[in-house]
Structure 1
Amino acid sequence: MPPRFQLDEDDDPRGTAAFVKAPEGAYDAVYSPARRYLRRLVVDQVARETPLLARIQQRYRTPARDRLFVFAGMLGNHTFFMFALPFLHLFGLGLFARGLTCVVLWSIYFSGVVKDYISAPRPASPPVAQITNSPAHTLEYGFPSSHTTYVVATIVYISHFMLNVWGVSVLWAALLWATGLVIVAGRIYCGLHSFVDVAGGVVLGLAEALAFIVLYAQLDAVLLSAGGPLAAVAILYSALTAIPRSLDLCPCSVDSFCATSVTLGVAVGAWIHARMPFLWHNGQPDQIAWDASLTLAQNAVRCAIVLGLIVVWKLTSKPAMVALVKLLLAGDDQPSPSDSPREDVVHTGGSAPCEQDGFPIPSPERVRTGRYGTHAIMAAHENLARIPIYAGIPLIIYTVSPVAFYYLGLLPS
């Protein structure tokens, strides 16, 4: 029985489609020459590195190190982001909070886009052991390492503020970099990435961080301007339609939907909040939950309210949002990840469709329109519902929570 993957951490894996690895000939038939060439470069390099990665594990693995690096890897999963990133906004960090949120979440998007485009597998297991408490992620492509991308981008962005804006001691920046090094080294130790995967993540993360350092203040001003929500929607639409289709049912594209949808909610939520001055009597629209004019207990209650609302929304919103998407898209044909229509595969001169190891190769028409591979995942109602679900988290922070503070008498006087 082929392994299964979860479209999201809260989905039941028994209800998802089986992940079936496409044979090499399918990539040659579907991908462009440039895409095939880049993929082959990475695949060959990972194959060359795999014996070395196996030897590294054989020499250095211990139960204690396994626990350390698995824990370090958890600093990049959905649950961590859902609880960690809101605190940046709760403590009134404003521009920095929005910028760092975008850096982290767009790292997931950009690394996912490259992963889907290259479509290179992770190091072979065996001989490499894949050490993780999230087996679903072992089914994603390997190049570049998403963890490395977001760790490097995040640390460079934070270091810029620490050293150039806040004047923090360089020792704190060094501690931050040491933590990041542990996370990155863990990707190789755990057998989830090769050296070339990590190198690709370093380059991508550094480029993204530098771009946000230079440009985010101007982008933030645009998003807070009168036409900000329209700009945010346009950015999200452009990003999601630009995700390349891959032959394998890799869940990278689902992560991209979730991450970029959160940034939409941040932009729209901040735009609304800045125009509701009765919710922030202290004259600082970036003060969401923590305010120096309130008591410690009042501030703690405000933070608890925000996090509680986020948890309730995440646990209960899915059925309603899926129903809403189905209502808005009533009549649209819904593809299934397991659908492989025989009439839509390439024929090889005779009457039999072209298959390799039971895998039907999409027809040129399907390839041209992008209706193959991960298209079925991205176009599903359940996946499209993730846009309002994840956009709703920052909307709770910036709009719903301040309204709750207002009626509960928890606003500064």
Structure 2
Amino acid sequence: MKYMMTYDLMETARNTNQWLGATAHAFASYPFMSMMPNPAMDWVKAWGEVTERTFARMVVKPDWNIPSFTDEQGKDRVVSVNTVVERPFGDLIHFHASNRKGKKPKLLLVAPMSGHYATLLRKTVISLLPDFEVYVTDWHNARDIPVSAGKFDVEDYTLYLVDFMKELGPDTHVMAVCQPVPLTLAATAYLAEEDPKAQPRSLTLVGGPVDPDANPTEVTDFGHSVTMGQLEQMMIQRVGFKYDGVGRMVYPGLLQLASFISMNSEMHSTAFRDQIIRAAKGETSDHDRHNTFYDEYLAVMDMTSEFYLSTVERIFKNREIAKNEFVVNGRKVDFSKITNVAVKIVEGEEDDISAPGQCLAALDLLTGLPDEKKAAHLEPGAGHYGIFAGKSWRNNIRPLFLEFVAANSGDQKPRKSAKVVSIN
């Protein structure tokens, strides 16, 4: 599999399906077709519309498109995105609200590098902007990074987080979502020894695999059922000549997307069938529920091969985090060194990716942290996505998170939370 030909073959298949959809849509839209009304042409047009959009979105990084918000004084604040730290594999970006009065606490949102872009946290960012100066780790697509930039594995990821935390300073609250949870915990422990004053005030870990074996899922079972050699042969490919990262070994985003969809293939098939029916009836729009979700879900990015393989081997197979045996830059990370950073765990009862218990295992590692600085919440009925976006997040988890931050903000006064409206 480790050939440019296989990488380009997938891109060729995607490009061909996009072209077929565009062709069908254009053909069925000819004015001539209206002279002889035929329901079959409506179906062809609808299929083409949905197919073209679906395959086109797979190679496009979504925009943040953060709307303005109304603060507690009733003033509208326009939001701009600024790059604070620029690195080859990822940037630290800041969502700046114009002319904001008063000081808001800093919040670092650590986005996953697990196939989707950081924009997956768009709704989370929108919901938190009224209460925080929000910063996000904006990871880059590996296919666009030249081979000359070097490698990027779990240790490099952890050191990026260390540098980002140092940049923001100690008066920062950190929230890690899904995949980066164990590495964010490791970065905090790394700072506890190297530069204790740079540690954040609080750390909120949302649905991540600290101990994947605490409650195995289909994801963890797959990690144990294949060898590293099989993974490397089956999943790793070289970036083709079309992109700046030509020759770089990656786990392709299109291959990851196929895995995502296969986990709930029936649900996705039904969703696209229903969308074609709605398109044939003229009931679709650019920002309907289906397109809003799938424009983000289908936008995938390549991961460096060393990051993907080291994640599977060290986090899932060897459980280095769970066993407190993780090494970064030649130094063993000791989680017991975290003694004054408040830690909150958030899990979803119906999470089938990082099941309840996997993230909660972090609290057992923090033997040096007083119990009063530990907290945990299990959200009833919530799936993986629901614990950081959607109704469960807005109505239950976000208010609890604000209370947790306010209780651990030192001399910062607790704030009255702004109301967050539903974002469909």
TM class, shorter-chain normalised? under 0.3
Higher helix share: 1
Question: Which structure is richer in relative contact order (CA contacts within 8 A, separation 6 or more)?
Answer: 1
TM-score, with structure 1 as normaliser: 0.24
TM-score normalized with structure 2 length: 0.23
| Bigger fraction of residues in strand | 2
